[in-house]
Every structure is written in C-alpha cells, then in structure tokens.
Structure 1
Amino acid sequence: MVKHLTIPTRAGVLAAVVAIALIYAQRPLVAHDGYVLCSPVNTKSIYTVDPRNSVVECVLVRGKKFVASGSLDEVKVKRTWYPWTEKVKYIPKGSIVVPGLGDSHAHILEYGKTAQLELEGTKSVDETVKLVRQHILSNPDLLGDKSRVIFGGGWDHMSWSTRQFPTSKDLDSDPVIRGRRVVLQSKDCHALWVSLAALDTCGEIPSDIEGGVVVTDVNSNPTGVLLDNAQELLKLPHPTEDELRSRFLTTVKDALSYGLTSIHDAGLDPMSLDFFEREVAREKSLPIRIYAMKHFDEQELYWGNTTIPYSGAANGWLSVRSVKIFADGALRTGGAALHHHYHDNPSTKGFMRLSEDVLVSVIPRFLKDGWQVNVHAIGDRANGLVLDAFESALKDANVTALRPRLEHAQIMTKEDMERLGGLGVIASVQPTHAISDMSYAEDRLGPSRVHQLYAFRSILNSGTRIALGTDFPVEEMNPFKTFYAAITRTTVSGQSPHGRGGWFPEQCLTREETLRGMTIDPAYASFTESTLGSIEPGKLADLVVLSQDVMRVPVDRIMETKVVATVIDGKVVYGDL
C-alpha cells in the first residue's frame, strides 16, 4: 500500500518554526550557567572516581549538575544547539580535576575558635605561655577588658621535652595573664588547660567524675587540666551569635581554599547544630555542604524517637541523620580505653566515657529509630565494646542499611578488624593522626601492641569501607597532608620511627584508595553517594582543580599542591576557571 504524504505548505513550515521559537523563548536561557571543562590538549586529567576509576578528557556542567564526561567529541553530543551554547574551558597545563573533596570527621566551629589563638607546634610550656601573653598584648579589646574569656588551642604536651601536663600556675605566673579566664584546648580536644580564674568557675570540684579526670597534684589539689567529661565542669558565658558566625566563616574560608566541598561535623560542641540550623533559616542556604552529627548526652532524655532525621535541607546543603556518641577518651591524653594498661603508665588502662550498659542500650534504639550511629572509639577495649553493641543491634535493625560508623577506630584487635568488615560498619579514620602519634606511640602502647594502631590496610582488607578525614582542628585541615600521610606514613620531611620507608609501611593505602577515601567514600558514609563524590552524569557538579597531578607526582612534591578552583553546584566558590 502506498501511503499518501502530506507536504507542508510554506505557511505551515513558518507556523511550526514560530511555534518552536515561542517554546524556546519561554525557556530560561541556561547557556551561561553551563560549560565544558577540559584537560589540556591531548591529555586526560579529569579523575572521575566512578566505579571504573575512569580518567577522561572533558566534563560537561549544566546548571548544578554534571551532564556528560568523556572526550570533547563525546561531550559535544550532549551540548545544546543554541548559538550561545556552553563555552569550552581548559584547565592549566599540569593540573587535574577531581571530585569535590570531603572531610569525614571535623569540628567546624571549634576550628574557627582555635584559630583565634593557635598553639600548635610549641615546644615547651614557657613558649606556649608567651604566645598567650602576646595574643593579649596585641588585641586592645582583650588587654583592656579582663572579664573577656581568652580561648586558644593546639598545645601538645607530648611534643614537649617534659611530656608533663601544664598547670594553671604556669599561666598565672605571667602578670599580663594573671587574673584572666584563659581556656586552652589540647591538640586532641580531649583536655583543657585553664587559668586559676577559669578554674574557679567550676565551683566545688567532685572527687570522682565518670568518664573524665581532673588532674591533681600530690595534695589532691586541681592543677588546671581537665580531661574529657571533666571539661564540662567549666561555667563560661555562651558565645554570641556574631562570635559563632565569625568562627564559622573562618572555617569555611579555609575549607574552600583547600578544595573541601563537604564536611562531616562530628558533634564535639552541641551548639554547632543549633547554629547551622539558624544559619540556614537566616540565609536559606550554607556556603559549604555540612553533614552534621547530633550530639548525644546520656544525662538528657532519649530523643531518637521524638526527633526526625533529615537529609539535604537548604537545597542539599545540610543533613542531620546521625548521632555522635563518645565511647572513650584519646591516646595522647591517656584516656583511650585499652584491654591492658598503658606501657608508659601501668597504673591505668584509660577509661570509658560511657558505660557498656549505656552503649548496649542506646545504640540499638537509635538504629531502630532510623539514625546512623557514629561512635568515637580510640582504644581496643572501646572499639570492641562498640562493635559488641552494633552486633547485638542486628536483632532489631538492619545495621548495614543504616551504615553505622566507628569514628577513629585507632587501636583494634585483629579479631575486631575482621568483625568490622563482616558487620558492614564504616571506619572513619584520619591518616594525619598516624604521622602525629607515631613518635610516641610505641612508648605509650609497647612493642607488642603498637602494630594495631592505625592499621588502615588491615581494616580495608577486612572488607570495611574507609572514609578519610582530618579531625580538624586536632590536625591540619589541609587534605593534601591527609593524602600524603595515607600513602607514605612519614612526616612531610620523609621521616618515621621505621625510617624513610614509612611507619609500618604495609599499612599504607594506594593513591587510588586514598582519593576514593576523600571523595566517594565520605559521600557513602553520609548517604549521598547518588548525588556527590564522583564526576558522573546526574550528580551535583562539585569539583576541584588542583595545580598538579597528585596521582602521579613524586611523593615529596604532594605537599606543594594548590587549589586552582573549587566548584560547588557548578559555580566557582574559590579561585577561577
């Protein structure tokens, strides 16, 4: 049968063209918020971190999302036919593109607070006190008002020759400091060194504090150092909204300059989440993606069944669907809960900040009510008890689906490492902790136990997913130091207790594993792997342009890496394209 074809008239064709034109005239002109980003000619330098770890020539960004990746010809197929279509932009020669970087464990407001007076790197008590004195003298507002509280952080008694805790008297021996309330956070954020005036705010100090220690002298008098839960004894005025916002913006500014596009805030200060939510209500957005862990306090009523977890508020910038629980203290300050006594202090095995009964009771309840449970656990005893609680929770909840996390997972028995993978628990670890602690680790743990510390390769081989972070301000925010530490296990000068080959080099990660641990794995750990963590069509266009190829350059050049541009939702938020 021959079909009759209807030949459109000239008027009909014109009418059709006009109709199509009207349709496109009503569409928003999106061309100028789209672009093709390409490697230098004849190179592939865009690391997508997709399931195949593909490295491609170009990526097409349109609006807030990645639309296509591949060669320029492949990407062109996806481009619009507009005469004002997307521009092709080329990154500088030698540079690369990676997905937006994530930090899976950090403390946002604490970083901004510590930045007021940074004490990292001091070599003695006297040197630290001098920094406090100089800070007061150089700030007229502080100098002229003795009622102001002076905050700082980063001191590390383990890097001092004495390796002894400082005292209030050390601060008050300086006439400029004397009589002022001074509160100085330790490097690991598990101790406060305070002046006499600050110590007086504690009132009557109890002789015993569950989950904490007030350091005392031979006469049982407080010396001015408060460990873990004892820090809560201080009674200080709450920071103002302006002070909180200043701390927040300080952190964000530095984070974007380092290529961070998302941060998991680990709930050290319960004020943080309240501030983030107020900031969203005020600004309708945030300048960086935040995955916030809600603070747990065993003294409060259980709230897991009265508070609803949420994801992607403020157009995907804020998520609150996890709870942060502290199981024990820290290795540096001797509070990590161990199975056996400290090698350098046989009088203690550390301590739990929460009892085993609380862990076994609370963890299954939170999981059953739909919360991801993220537990700070440093010592091998603490990690074992937390895994016990996770394992028992399988009776009431699908633990794997809720992706519980061990925050730090620093010292673990071989059996618990294997159990970690079998349970589907995520290990949220910090490679820079390893190179910070390796100088004193064997003294603290002894030769038979030290190999269990920061055993990243063993944990990964157990089938566990690893999400990498810094724990800033405990360590530097710099993600390139994280990258360097993970693959070398040496100081940035190439040293370690085991020589230039690295401290327990068999525990090193590969560059590919490390990049995934800083991109797609933090996304998985925050339930956002379908929208973040890799450069794939349909995902949000978060990316970073780095000044050099960290996947190939010699390790001694990694720390030279700079961020050329940071992009969130397709828009440049730092640097330039």
Structure 2
Amino acid sequence: MAEKVSMLKNNPKSSRSQSRSSLTQALAVALTTLVAFSAFRFLQREHSVVCSKTESIYTVDSSKPRVECIAIDGSQILDTGSLDDVLGRLKNMAWTSSLTLFPSTLTGMLYRPPKVIFIDPSSIIVPGLADAHAHIIENGFKMQLQLDGADSVAEVIERIKDHINKRPDMPEDHWIEGMGWDQNRWPDSRFPTAADLDSDPLLKGRPIALRRVDGHATWVSSRVLELMGELPSEVDGGTIVRDNNGNPTGIFVDNAIALIPAPEWTESQLSEYFDATMKAALSFGLTSIHDADTLPQMRKFFIKQAKAGKIPMRLYVMLNGHLEVPEKGQLIKYGKQGRLTIRSIKLYTDGALGSWGAALLEPYADKPDTMGIMRSTAKEMDQLVRNYWKDGWQVNIHCIGDRANHVILNVFEGILQGTQVGPNVTEWRPRIEHAQIMTQADLKRAGTLGVTTSVQPTHATSDMWYAETRLGPDRIKGAYAYQTQLKNSRNGILPLGSDFPVEGVNPLLGFYAAVSRLAPDGTSPHGTGGWYPSERLTRTQALKGMTLDAAYASFMENEIGSLEPGKKADFVVLDKDIMTVPVDEILSIRVVATVIDGEVVHGNL
C-alpha cells in the first residue's frame, strides 16, 4: 500500500485523471438521478385536459383555429387537438421520458392519466382576453361616484347629493370627486358651470371636481375656484373656459386640469381602486390589461403589489412620459408571479373630440372658431420620442384628431426612416393610441411604416351620435376606420381596448361594437345595419384584436394571446358562442370561468 501511495505521489497526472474520472462519474450519477426524478414527477403529475365536445375551443392559432381539447401542465399549455390525440401524445411523452430509466411495468404503475374536464356543450373557450388600452386606478376611482348616463345637469346634481347623503359624516371641506358627465347628452349640449353646482344648498361651498367622461375636461365648484386663486390668462396645451366677462366658468380642459389642487390619492385609496377594477376585470374574462397612463405613485404601487405577489392578472404598464421617468425603470415580467411589465411610455399630443380638444387640420364643423388643442408641439414631441427610443422604451402616443395623427406619423417616420441607425419597427413597435381621425393618406402611411394603431371600438359607437356634426361628411370617412386600418397594417395587427373607465370594462362591449357598429340597444345614426358598416371587423378579426394582436403590442405574442403548446394557460370559458350567436345576443353572454397560469381565478370549470 505504501508503495502504491508512493507511486501516486510520484505520478500527479494519474492522480488528477482519477479525480476527474470520479467527478465525471459523480456528475453522471447526479444527472441520471435528476432526470429520473423529473421523469417520476412527470409521471405522477396530474395534468388537466379541458375539452369541448363541439370543438368550440377557438385557439387564435392559424394552424389549428378550432380544437376539441387543450392539455395543461401547471401554468402552461402542453398540447392541443382531439381528445384521443392529446391523451395519446401525453402518454407517449410520459413513456418516452421514463422507459430509459424505469422498467415498463413500473412506468405503467407510476403513470397518472390526466384529469379530463368537459365544458357545457353550449359553452366555448377563447384565449384570455386583453384590454390594450385602459386606466386601472382611474376605473376604481370612478366607481365611487359614477356620472355616466346623466341626461342633464340636474341629474348630475342629484347623484352628488345622493353620494353625500349616504355619507353623513363627510366634512364640508372633503373633496367630492367623480367622473362620467357628458354635455353631449344634455338638451343644449353646453358645458356646465361652477354656478350650476352652487344652485343646490347641499353642494354650495363644497370643493367638487368632476371629470368629463373622456377625462379631458374637469368641472369644478366655486369653492375650488376660490382655492385656486388667481389663474393664468392662458395655458399651453389647455383651456380655461371663461364667460363673456373673462371670468372662469369652472371648466378646465386638457393641460389646464393640472391647475386644480385636488388632493393626491392615498395608498389606501390606490389599493381600494385597484382591487375594485381587478375584481370586475376578472369577472369579465380579462387576463391582461395595458395601463395607458401610469403616474409615478401608481408605478410605485404596482411594483409593491408585484413584489408581494398580489397582481391577479398580467399588467403591461405605460409610464406617463411627460412626468419624471426613472432612468433604469424598465421591468420585464417582474414580481413573484412575473405578471408586471414596465417597458413603454405614454405621451399625449391632443385632447378629445367630445370636448372639442382633438387637434384637427381644419376647424370644427360645429365650432369653426377652433381647431382643437395640441398639448405638445411637434418639436417637443419629436425630441421626447427620440430620447425615449434611444433609452430603449416603446413609445405609445395619444392621438385623436387628424392633425395630431399627422404630426406623430411625421415624428415616427423621421425616426424610422430618417437616420441610418433608425430602429427596426418590429423591435421598437411604436403605437398610436386611439388613431381616431386620420386622413386617407395617413391611414395608409401608418400601415406602410409598421406603426401599430391601438383602437377602442366602443369609442366609435359612443361618439357616432355627434362625430359627423363635429367633423363634417368628408373627414368622417377617415374616422374610426378600423377595417381600413387593419387592411393597411403591415403585419395585420389591430389591438383592441376599451379606454375604461371612459367606456365599460366588459370586453364584449368592444367585441360587439367592432362587429356591429351599433349601440348596445341595436341602434345607430345609420339604422340597424350599423354606423359606416364597411368599417366593421369580422368576429375572427375582433377576437384576434383582443387576444393575439394585443399580445403583439406588448411584446408577448410568444407567450400569450393564443392557445398553443408552450404558451401560458390563460383562457376564458363563455356560456355562449360569441363567434356564431346572433349579434343582438353577444352582450348577454356571460363568463363561466377565467383561468390564468392554469388556475381558475373567477368562476368554475
């Protein structure tokens, strides 16, 4: 033995060779053990197979548009196809992964057949629905005092009084805030005034700030005007509406809204508003939301929720680019659940059509003294967009009027084609949010450039009662032109959203508006055939717009948006077939179950 030890000492190469051999053997044993353990876990794991006997699983996968079943492994889709094929492939996967390690008898004993679930024959499955443009916190805020549908100033006042009377302990200096009024619904279509709020003794002397339905104008009480003190004569990118004597009436439009000294929301309020929106959204089958104007306090709140694992769905966040943006603020699939992504910027170019703030190339047909509001100049926008592009941010820009859209397409074109180091449009994916009113030339240019137009079908059916009066018979042909935008799109992409709380949270409202161009009661200025019906989307196009196209707009098309192997198991079970029922039945459809990462988060399977 001493001689052998001596020989090893005298032969260090042999010693190292034996050490490497031992290490290799140990690694091989460890690897075999790991593979065996993985195979054992696969055999023992209870996979789920969800099926429709009528093959009513709409995958939004062009290679397999409809299937009978989807197999789920944890948070992912493992397979799709017929029940026999899926079960056969699952068994083959199990046996292939284990027969080299376990005897066939043991493999057969260990294998657990998947749990097969059949949905009701009248139900269907679609990929998890997305809202490509919404305002999460604002929606929860609006739910506390909703002014939607009020047909007069008097009705708004009654709703405020009811709000106060239900809170008898509310101090008189407590700010009352609400959202949803629309002067276009009222008999004289005029903007309201602070004096209107003072007309009721219960309201007089209280600080009241009420946002218009589109969020682009705020109506305040006389008490708020007092708190504001002396006001500037003009506001860049905004308007202080004044009477014939030059006194403020109580209406502030676009950038002028920032003058209102409303208190900042507390963390408790943020939590309340967030939870309310999430609960509603899940109940309507939403599994992904693009938050289209995240303020600094909201960003911090979302990050805190993500760290705590309290983000119940996928959130794609657009930071407000007119405010301070962290230098290294991008987060991809962040948090315990990996559901928060912050990689885009939201900018504003103009206002909204309903408050005459959309920036037009020519004067308004019904208000020829104005062409709307440019909230930022073309030069300012160009510099902002270039800076954010260079810092690696996707840039998404609010554009309603044809002037705003024209200016921003000039900016995007200058960046995409104007330099030798311009970005690849597929890698950058710049978006125009709303893209509501465009010239025929700009409709084509957006598609040619590869700019994504992110639209909200319910805006068309909400605005159709006054839009042509605002724009006239020629400009209206380039407004809310969804089918044209989709046909012009380089990649056939048209993400759909709602802009809630401007519109309702239920994504079927958008689906219905997109395929019918009708109001929920089945009417339109052009009758039951729909408003400018040539711009309707097909049901297949609309479903893709609120699933795969929205996923593309958020760089997630390889992970969500369709039911394909390897993608996340996000899907929705509906009690009727939105792809075949008569149009007037679409809005009666209900969500049976909402599933995210393979887990039922609303309803039951």
When normalised by structure 2's length, the TM-score is: 0.88
Q: Superposition RMSD on alpha carbons, in Å?
A: 2.0
Q: Which moved more, 1:263-272 or 1:512-521?
A: 263-272
The correspondence for 1:93, drawn from 107, 116, 121, is 121
Conserved 8 A contact 1:399-1:423: no
Conserved 8 A contact 1:399-1:424: no
Conserved 8 A contact 2:43-2:111: no
1:6 corresponds in structure 2 to: none
Give the 3-state SS of the residue equivalent to 2:353 in structure 1: coil
The correspondence for 1:70, drawn from 81, 103, 117, is 81
Q: How does 1:173-572 map to 2 (within 5 A)?
A: 173-267=199-293, 269-281=295-307, 283-297=308-322, 303=325, 306-314=327-335, 315-394=337-416, 395=419, 396-400=421-425, 401-464=427-490, 465-572=493-600
Conserved 8 A contact 2:483-2:535: yes
The correspondence for 1:124, drawn from 132, 137, 152, is 152
Give the 3-state SS of the residue equivalent to 1:154 in structure 2: strand
Structure 1 distance, partners of 2:198, 2:46, is 58
Q: Which moved more, 1:265-274 or 1:476-485?
A: 265-274
Structure 1 distance, partners of 2:375, 2:35, is 67
Q: How does 1:26-175 map to 2 (within 5 A)?
A: 34-39=47-52, 41=53, 43-52=54-63, 54-76=65-87, 77-79=89-91, 80=94, 82-142=110-170, 145-175=171-201
5+ long unaligned stretches in structure 2: 1-31, 95-107
Q: Which amino acid aligns with 1:47?
A: Y
Structure 2 distance, partners of 1:102, 1:522, is 6
- Deviations 1:13-43, CA, capped at 9 Å, x for gaps: xxxxxx999944996589666311000x3x1
Structure 2 distance, partners of 1:133, 1:34, is 55
Distance 1:160 1:399, change over 3 A: farther
Q: Which moved more, 1:477-486 or 1:177-186?
A: 177-186
Structure 1 distance, partners of 2:447, 2:593, is 36
Distance 1:307 1:24, change over 3 A: closer
- Deviations 1:496-549, CA, capped at 9 Å, x for gaps: 111111111110100000000000000000000110101000111100000100
Alpha-carbon distance, 1:278 to partner: 2.0
Alpha-carbon distance, 1:200 to partner: 2.8
Q: Which amino acid aligns with 1:134?
A: D
Distance 1:426 1:233, change over 3 A: same
Alpha-carbon distance, 1:284 to partner: 3.1
Conserved 8 A contact 1:215-1:225: yes
Conserved 8 A contact 1:68-1:75: yes
Q: Which amino acid aligns with 1:35?
A: S
Q: Which amino acid aligns with 1:418?
A: K
Give the 3-state SS of the residue equivalent to 2:281 in structure 1: helix
| Larger Rg over CA atoms | 2
Structure 2 distance, partners of 1:84, 1:242, is 47
Structure 2 distance, partners of 1:367, 1:397, is 10
- Deviations 1:100-124, CA, capped at 9 Å, x for gaps: 0000000000000000011100100
1:10 corresponds in structure 2 to: none
Structure 2 distance, partners of 1:480, 1:183, is 31
Structure 1 distance, partners of 2:174, 2:47, is 50
Conserved 8 A contact 1:367-1:399: no
Q: Which amino acid aligns with 1:551?
A: M
Conserved 8 A contact 1:380-1:411: yes
Give the 3-state SS of the residue equivalent to 2:446 in structure 1: helix
Give the 3-state SS of the residue equivalent to 1:332 in structure 2: helix
Distance 1:211 1:45, change over 3 A: same
1:4 corresponds in structure 2 to: none
Distance 1:125 1:22, change over 3 A: closer
Conserved 8 A contact 1:367-1:397: no
- Higher helix proportion, which one? 2
Over the matched positions of the two proteins, sequence identity in percent amounts to 47
Alpha-carbon distance, 1:196 to partner: 1.7
5+ long unaligned stretches in structure 1: 1-18
Structure 1 distance, partners of 2:602, 2:187, is 41
When normalised by structure 1's length, the TM-score is: 0.92
Give the 3-state SS of the residue equivalent to 1:244 in structure 2: helix
- Deviations 1:120-175, CA, capped at 9 Å, x for gaps: 00100001110000011012342xx1222112111111111110111111112211
Conserved 8 A contact 1:390-1:399: no
The aligned length equals 551
Q: Which moved more, 1:23-32 or 1:530-539?
A: 23-32
Distance 1:139 1:535, change over 3 A: same
Q: Which amino acid aligns with 2:77?
A: F
